Chains A and B, each alone.
Chain A
């Protein structure tokens, strides 16, 4: 590949890429994101390639793309140009797909997705409500491109925003456009991106850095992983535009230790961009030079905090530092630094390409644009969804997410990761944006949305988050290190049925100490899961303390399993699965559970087809 020297050459090359991509040709896209890989999509990709060869269809293109978002239904296969959508595809299905759908244009009924409610079958990807109700301006490209091909990215208009900026916009104009767009940081804080950039722009320094925070640590959120794996060039282009606006020459992407595929795809993308001259010296023949390095994290949640992240890039332990030193003046290696997360960077090319005005037409006044959420937990359509800000929780969970599995009752949705809170049913019509979530005691965070049903214990959830945070506290501030531990111990006591009423007051008092006395966001927000569950689900705490009961049937010390002799058919299934011989009985006779032997693993409960095993 020869270096591209100007915007005109880039455009000419894009046209070459488009010329070999007849929009009417058949392309089979297979989602090869982490979810679908786990569902076995690699074998499906291989089978499709082999079958095409066998049936002599070498003109059909096969694309293994990044994550499409509908992870629950994987492996996903889409046959273009019609857009026929097949879900849960197995290797055995492949010959039929090629012979009938590719060769004859027929739709295979049995592979179509059916609505969970009406069982109506849907043939085309664009008509699936999960996709149809979203607004996928950032994440939608994932389904169209092979993340390892820069030509694919160019063919969908990639690096057009960069060319536009370098040929017709001054750095200030780029900055102004981002400021006007109202883009706010997607990593959690929601700080206006343009203002952040401006502070760095205004500092006079030969060397400045831009950093992409890909240390996605909030449990239950994986949109950054999927963007970086599925569309790495969008992040690179965003960083290029940011660097141009603030006057930076070097960039770093700090990728989480647990995301090896993201590192692989990003490395490939950086190499390809460099080879083409889109990274390096004098980009597109301009005086702007910029390059990107990857820094792999060491596996510490606190490194998502900006100053800890920078310490980690510098080869130090990832401990945060006091916030009075501003990153804009003294960040990485003491130089002015801009740090944004993956999703924020991926928004930038869209803003420059389509303009701030267009961008502001999406979302709410205070939070323009879209947000990608990971909709997970007790919900039918788990996956990644991109929606305009201002959509209600109800629309996300029930219309896009298809509601709660097994006809169970919605209880709460947890947003904002370990810094966030649990939102109860009464707030389901809340319009989701940075400000509204704060009003009900939660926060946007990086976009994790964990749905909980009546079988989720809220005391257990609060304990879960404190357990997480006590392990991740770096230990620098005493209030965080010791305070979280004490709060955890109290919750643990309550879930064991040993809690007292006064514990609730103590929890609330400790919460204030931890919030006030800790330096970084981790400690300052650590009590949120406890406070929000105490606010909305105090009854559940009281049931654990006063009645020694766990109403959701989760806390082991407060529950036991019994078999209802009237419902039991004596099928013996429970006895077969019981790992310790506690469930027993004669065939065709009602069975029993020996409470002394029972380890409460719940396997009998899962196995019983007659709902005879009860959690008491």
Chain B
């Protein structure tokens, strides 16, 4: 079977300036950037592996660790912050038993924060797998998580 990297280089060609878009496709296909894929990509684009890693570690969209099945994103924008986003995050951390940026041991949930989702009128906002939940309170966290457990 054709590798993911081959499919990606077939789509973008071997132009290294397209590397961010390629890594984005790889990230969404595999939910992280596996080392072997990065090696394959560096070879296909004929650029040093260090350059691939420099990009992969600079941008927040990329992860070198596998992500959980469900991605919980807590918005930490200013509007959400003044309406209590930190309290929501603390309650999620408590319930999942992990800190922000981590994935549960069963690979079920990754808890992430984002600096602003641009849904400021709904703050505090939590996004689970692209689905927006606005006007959150710590008390609603339990009910929200029930849908995904």
Contact = CB atoms under 8 A, between A and B. Distances in A.
A168 interface: no
Given A257-B61, A314-B17, A601-B90, A34 B82 contact: no
Contacts of A318: 58-59
B139 A452 contact: no
A376 B121 contact: yes
A471 B113 CA distance: 12
B87 to A, nearest CB: 6
Contacts of B114: 258
Interface in A299-324: 299-301, 312-318
A156 interface: no
B139 A315 contact: no
A570 B70 CA distance: 39
A185 interface: no
B20 A298 contact: yes
B13 interface: no
Contacts of A38: 119, 122, 125, 132-134
Given A39-B134, A220-B120, A472-B115, A315 B55 contact: yes
Contacts of B118: 34, 216, 221-222, 225-226, 258-259
A383 interface: yes
B60 to A, nearest CB: 3
A468 B115 contact: yes
A266 to B, nearest CB: 15
Contacts of B107: none
A299 B61 contact: yes
B115 A35 contact: no
Contacts of B149: none
A134 interface: no
Given A38-B122, A39-B134, A452-B82, A317 B21 contact: no
A35 B135 CA distance: 11
Nearest to B54: A317
A312 B58 CA distance: 11
B91 A301 contact: no
B79 A296 contact: no
A300 B79 contact: no
Contact of B91 (A258, A260, A299, A579): A579
Nearest to A472: B115
A219 interface: yes
A441 interface: no
Interface stretch (A147-155, A159-167, A360-368, A602-610): A602-610
B60 A299 contact: yes
Contacts of A225: 118
Contacts of B121: 35, 71-72, 374, 376, 382-383
Interface in B119-139: 119-123, 125, 130, 132-134, 137-139
Interface string A426-449: 000000000000000000000010
State the majority secondary structure of interface residues on A.
Answer: mixed
Interface residues of A, number: 61
A217 interface: yes
Given A218-B116, A579-B91, A257 B60 contact: yes
A317 B83 contact: no
A300 B55 CA distance: 11
Interface string B37-69: 000000000000000001100111110000000
B18 to A, nearest CB: 6
Contacts of A377: 78-79, 82-83, 123
A303 B17 CA distance: 16
Given A217-B116, A298-B61, A450 B125 contact: no
24 contacts: A34-B132, A35-B119, A37-B132, A38-B122, A217-B116, A219-B77, A220-B77, A220-B120, A257-B24, A260-B130, A300-B59, A300-B60, A315-B55, A378-B83, A382-B120, A382-B121, A414-B78, A448-B79, A450-B82, A461-B82, A464-B81, A601-B87, A601-B91, A603-B137
Given A38-B119, A71-B120, A464-B78, 10 more contacts: A34-B118, A35-B119, A38-B133, A217-B116, A219-B81, A220-B79, A295-B20, A299-B60, A376-B123, A603-B137
Interface of A: 34-35, 37-39, 71-72, 216-222, 225-226, 257-260, 295-301, 312-318, 374, 376-378, 382-383, 414, 417, 448, 450, 452, 456, 461, 464-465, 468, 471-472, 474, 577, 579, 599, 601-603, 606-607
